[in-house]
Amino acid sequence: GVCIAQSLKIPREPRPGEFDKIILRLIETPNARAVIMFANEDDIRRILDAAKRNNLTGHFLWVGSDSWGSKISPVVQQERVAEGAVTILPKRVSVDAFDRYFKSRSLSNNRRNVWFAEFWEENFVCKLGQHGKRPGSPKKCT
């Protein structure tokens, strides 16, 4: 008894009015009122804002993915349009063995991982030598 009435995509770099177009497309199928969103926080905000602008507060039942989860930032000042939303937040469990392993990594024992140097520069806001990924960083990684 469940069908997917529409599958719409949010462009990576949406143009002005893009979210209003999405909302107008959604109301083309009047019997489909549940909207399942796999979107980032900013796009969720913009979808909710477009629904509010188009006087569709209370029309849709929003189902938000884990990018919405328990966060309030997507709904700040949009509480009425988001009222009744169901959001998903998967249970997260810490894996002690992985945490110990990850915390034991350093520049000297983790040269195989091609992303580790970039992680190190980003995490410690420093630059690894002259070929580091963070040009202009004042601090040299140690």
With 0.75 as the threshold, say if the pTM is over it: no
d(CA 49, CA 71): 17
pLDDT digits (tens, 9 = 90+) for 21-70: 999 999 999 899 999 999 999 999 999 999 999 999 999 999 999 889 88
Per DSSP, the three-state class of 121 is helix
- What pLDDT is stored for residue 137 in this prediction? 57
- DSSP character string of 3-24: ---------SSPPTTHHHHHHH
Write down the domain spans for the chain: 18-87, 101-141
CATH number corresponding to 18-87 = 3.40.50.2300
Answer whether 124's CB lies under 8 Å from 117's CB: no
- What pLDDT is stored for residue 92 in this prediction? 83
Strand intervals (E) in the chain: 34-37, 61-64, 86-87
For residue 51, the surrounding DSSP H or E stretch is helix 41-53
pLDDT at 132 over 70: no
- What pLDDT is stored for residue 18 in this prediction? 97
- What pLDDT is stored for residue 131 in this prediction? 57
Span 85-114, average pLDDT: 86
- What pLDDT is stored for residue 37 in this prediction? 95
Span 63-88, average pLDDT: 92
